[in-house]
Structures are given as C-alpha cells and as structure tokens.
Amino acid sequence: MKKISLEVYHFAGSLRIIATFLLRVEDPIKVFLPIKAIVDTGSPITLISSTDLQRMRISKLQLQNIPVKNNPVNIGGGQIFTKEIEKTKIKFGNDIEVEMPINFPVKGEGSQPSLLGIDFMLKTKSKLIFNPSKKEAYFEIED
Amino acid sequence: MTNQELTLLKNFEQDSEWFHNNNKEIIKRGFVNKFVAVKDKKIISSGKNLDELIKILEEKGENPSYIFIEFVYPEGFTLIL
C-alpha cells in the first residue's frame, strides 16, 4: 500500500485538501514546475489554473495553437475552454509518478485554483482519506 | 526523484504552508486582493495583477515557475468550486 500525504488548510472560505506535486510536460509544450492543487472530488477533470499557466510563462494563445480540440468546462457558474494535454506527468514527494491527461485553460476568465480531480483517483485507483476535524488527509493507493 | 526536484518541491510546500498558516497576518499587512510571491517563507513581491507580479519577479532574476504565488482573498470570502 502506498500513501500520498496531503495538507489540509483553511483557504478561500473553507477547509481544503491540498496536493503539491511536480508537473512535467515534454510535448507539445515544455513545462516543469511545482503545483499546488485543491483535491476536488466534485471535479471529473484535473485542471491547471490561469495563475499557474502564467507562472509557466505560457500564453493562452500558445496553447490555442496546439492541434487538440477545445473542451468546454463549466466551473463556479462560468464557462472556460481547455486543451487536454495527454502525456502529462505529475510526481509526488514519495516518488509516485502518474501520467495522465491534464486540462490547461485556453479561453475564458476562470479564477479557480488548480484542481486535482477524480480522474487522478480513477487513474491511480486510490482512496481519499479525509479527517477534517484533525486536518488530516492522504491518498491510499493499492499496489 | 532527483535531489534538485525534491528540494524544489520541499521549498514550494514550505512556502505554501507558510502562506496558509499566516494568511490572517498577510491580510492585516494590506495584501488583500493582491497576488503575492512567497520565497523562503517571506513575501518577496506583490502585485494587483499577475502580469505585474511576474514582471517584477523576472526583473529580480527569479523564475516565477519555481515561486509560490497566491491571490490573497479578503476575510469572509468563500470560493465555491
């Protein structure tokens, strides 16, 4: 059994489960940076925020040119469009590395933070253990 | 994970932890509705928008990709995802 430790903080009006990982993309863009994402079991997709996109110094226009279709994503009452980049690697501190599609925003003014969605849990077949009163959370992944 | 990757991740996590544990103090210090950049558990720059902050960081010789950057929401603000 493998375990990914998560942090639990009060952020933007609520207690949130936070995952921190290294994100690496080699193609069609080159990206390598640490990301803080809210674990959101209500989100079917993993989504990079506009803020993190700007940290990568990649413009939405650059992403628009990637020959992948735009996906509409409804979030927080608004709609944004994303490009799904297939071979994105996310790596956690305990050396767990996962390759999965991740959505990058290309159009629309979403102010949402980066989200680690339920797609990650399906890909890794993990369980989320969350104890809000003790501010403890972690993913449990069966070998 | 290489030592360099581990250090990068650890420093980023520490700065994230510092930001969240000191959020009330950061609000008191007048950073509400601004983006702040945190390095080594200190706010090294802030800006009303991200473009401005990233420009300042680059002028300081910092790589924004490796810096913890967060928006400071006002107290009582709730973000529904």
The two beta strands, B42-47 and B35-39, are antiparallel
Tracing tokens 């803080």 back to the chain, one arrives at A36
Q: Do A38 and B69 touch (CB under 8 A)?
A: no
3-state SS class at A106: strand
- Tens-digit pLDDT profile for residues A66-86: 888 889 998 877 889 999 999
* pLDDT for position A42: 93
Question: Cβ A22–B5 below 8 Å, yes or no?
Answer: yes
Domain boundaries, chain B: 3-71
d(CA B5, CA A90): 12
Q: What is the phi/psi pair of residue B4, to 5°?
A: -65, -45
Give per-residue pLDDT as tens, A42-54: 999 999 999 999 9
Q: Which chain A residues in 60-99 lie under 8 Å from chain B, judged by CB atoms?
A: 75-76, 91, 93, 95
B81 and A93 within 8 Å at the Cβ level: the answer is no
Closest by CA to A111, choosing from B28, B12, B54, B72, is B72
A73 in Cβ contact with A81 (< 8 Å):
yes
Query: What pLDDT does residue A92 have?
Result: 95
Whether the predicted interface score ipTM is above 0.85: yes
d(CA B54, CA B73) in angstroms, rounded, equals 19
**Counted domains in chain A:** 1
Instruction: Tell me which residues of chain B, numbers 36 to 75, contact chain A at a CB-CB cutoff of 8 Å.
Output: 50-51, 54, 64-71, 73
When pLDDT is averaged across residues A105-128 and rounded to a whole number, the result is 91
How far is the C-alpha of A106 from the C-alpha of B53, rounded, in Å?
21
Residues of A in contact with B9 (CB under 8 A): 20-22, 34, 93
Higher pLDDT, A28 or A19: A19
- A33 interfaces chain B, CB cutoff of 8 Å: yes
Give the number of A-B residue pairs with CB atoms closer than 8 Å: 85
What is the distance in angstroms between the Cα of A98 and the nearest Cα belonging to chain B?
A: 13
pLDDT digits (tens, 9 = 90+) for B17-75: 999 999 999 999 999 999 999 999 999 999 999 999 999 999 999 999 999 999 999 98
Whether A110 shows a pLDDT value over 80: the answer reads no
Calculate the average pLDDT of chain A.
92
**What pLDDT is stored for residue A64 in this prediction?**
84
pLDDT at A108 over 90: no
Mean pLDDT of A115-132: 97
Q: What is the pLDDT, as a whole number, of residue A127?
A: 97
Q: Which member of B16, B51, B65 has the closest CB to residue A56? A: B65
* pLDDT beyond 80 at A138: yes
CA dist A64 → A27, A61, A106, B50, B61 (Å): 14, 5, 6, 20, 29
Q: State whether residue A66 is helix, strand or coil.
A: coil
Say yes or no to pLDDT of B81 above 70.
Answer: yes
Q: What CATH number is given to the structural domain containing A129?
A: 2.40.70.10
In A76-112, which ranges are E strands?
78-91, 97-107
- Asked whether residue A136 carries a pLDDT value surpassing 90, the answer given is yes
Report residue B26: phi and psi, to 5°: -65, -40
Rounded to two decimals, the pTM is 0.93
User: In the numeric block, which tokens belong to residue A77?
Assistant: 């009452």
Q: Which domain holds residue A31?
A: 2-141
Q: Between A28 and B19, where is the model more confident?
A: B19
pLDDT of residue B63: 96
Helices (H), A3-44: none
- Cβ of A10 and B20 within 8 Å? yes
Structure tokens that stand for B19 in this block: 């930001």
CA-based max dimension of chain A: 46
Mutate to test the interface with B, among A36, A49, A90, A95 (most CBs of B within 10 A): A36
